[in-house]
A and B are shown apart, each in its own frame.
Chain A
Amino acid sequence: MNLTFHNKSITGILTVLPSKAINFDDEIDNYNFSRAQSMKLKLAMGYKQRRVVDEDVCSSDLCIHGLEYLFEEKFLAKDEIDALILVTQSPDHFMPPTSNIIQGRLGLKEDIICLDINQGCAGYIIGLIQSFLMLEQESINKVALLNVDVLSSKVSNKDRNSNPLIGDGASVTIVEKSIIPSTIHANIKMDGQKADVLMIPAGGFRLPSSKATAKLEKDSSGNERAKDHLVMKGDDVFNFIMTKVPPLINSLLEQAQKDIEDIDYFMFHQPNKFILKKLADKLDVPYEKMPNNVVENFGNASGVSIPTAITHNLQEKLIHDEANLCLAGFGVGLTWSSMLIQLKNLKFCKTINY
């Protein structure tokens, strides 16, 4: 599905990362693989360090920390927020919506729309799409888009497929109406028939958590995980990304009548370094235009990886200058989506610690 939006802009991006860092080398003995083999994989995949929250920290805590920072620094005023969109797979509770909890704890106005969206790796673009749609309303002038996930506790520490790359984090993106004429192109596709490729089987209403779902089971590769843990079918995910994402990007460029050379940076979701290099090769994009350093420094926090890539790599440039970005998110659902957007003279573009 192709989408087009007019006269909307991102005016600031803040990433909030936990201070606690875990090193891959310190966990290497958890896995049922030789140390030498795991070290080779470390280089190929970009496993190095990831940021995780303490057990008692929830999604709302990271988001509130970020919003309070923006209030204190006068980048944002409470009364300006007409809509609070929160994209997460790790809500504080099944009910109420975490966005309502954030509104209440921060004392935001009642004249507001709070909306939770359950999405993962494509969640940044889905959140932007929803923000642009809301901004079509006369009474909505500023949206605070929150992306957050704290899934590290839902991954088995004996699962070498997932554990070394999963990080926690949040981002706050301010989206507004723009007085400068602009066009944003996007596209999105979904395939729910492959919903089991990335999932946490237990813990919802279909299969509530129990002693049985907490029991570790060994897979054919030697990884151990329970039904309460995240399951990623590596072969299927890789094949999905390689077959679906390059045509998605080529279609978006065609839709916008742009070439690869017109794009300054390709800020893609970062599942691991190997996949990003393969995507860059396939699209003939130089590696320096597609940063792949989020997983190795912070881990993959689902929909937060794109804003993290932006604030980590383009902080100075986007405050003082401009850049044409191609964003792409792909993962749980399955969902794959991309967007062409120009970012220019942001009020803030920063990473802070929690």
Chain B
Amino acid sequence: MIEQIKIILKSIRPELDFTSSNNFFEDGLLDSFELVLMVTELEDTFKIVIDGVDIIPENFKNINSIVSLINSSKKR
């Protein structure tokens, strides 16, 4: 799962290194519109539906938080 998340992050911002950041938003690696891209890619890849109220920077701030969100999201 972690490797797939890294591939998605790389596809959204190929020029950036996400592995050295613990907060993608505070470090300026992602903004709210890239968050939309993240959500659509994660939903397609993992066949999940992410609840709208969960689409907040806190849940996407690093790879661990994204893993938690995927695990808590409902399966399609």
Contact = CB atoms under 8 A, between A and B. Distances in A.
A278 B31 contact: no
Nearest to A282: B52
Contacts of B37: 37, 40-41, 44
Contacts of B12: 37, 40
Contacts of A48: none
A274 B36 contact: yes
B3 to A, nearest CB: 20
Max chain A CB contacts within 10 Å: which of B37, B52, B56?
B52
B53 interface: yes
A241 B40 CA distance: 18
Given A235-B57, A239-B56, A274-B40, A41 B33 contact: yes
B51 A235 contact: no
Nearest to B54: A242
B36 A279 contact: no
B32 A282 contact: no
A281 interface: yes
Given A44-B37, A44-B40, A220 B53 contact: no
Given A41-B37, A45-B36, A243 B53 contact: yes
Given A44-B40, A235-B57, A274-B40, A281 B49 contact: yes
Interface string A47-82: 000000000000000000000000000000000000
B40 A221 contact: no
B52 A235 contact: no
A297 interface: no
B5 interface: no
A203 interface: no
Interface residue range, chain B: 10 to 19
A242 B55 contact: yes
Interface string A226-246: 000000001100110111001
B52 A278 contact: yes
Given A44-B40, A274-B40, A279 B52 contact: yes
Question: SS class of chain B's interface: helix, strand, loop or mixed?
Answer: helix
A161 interface: yes
A234 B33 contact: yes
Nearest to B74: A281
A239 B57 CA distance: 10
Contacts of A281: 49, 51-52
A234 B36 CA distance: 11
Contacts of A37: 12-13, 34, 37
B52 to A, nearest CB: 4
Contacts of B32: 161, 221, 234-235, 238
B21 to A, nearest CB: 16
A43 B23 CA distance: 27
A161 B56 contact: no
Interface of A: 37, 40-41, 43-45, 160-161, 220-221, 234-235, 238-239, 241-243, 246, 274-275, 278-279, 281-282
9 contacts: A41-B33, A41-B36, A45-B36, A220-B28, A221-B33, A242-B53, A274-B36, A281-B52, A282-B53
Nearest 9 pairs of A and B residues by beta carbon: A242-B52, A278-B52, A234-B32, A221-B31, A235-B32, A44-B40, A242-B53, A44-B36, A282-B52
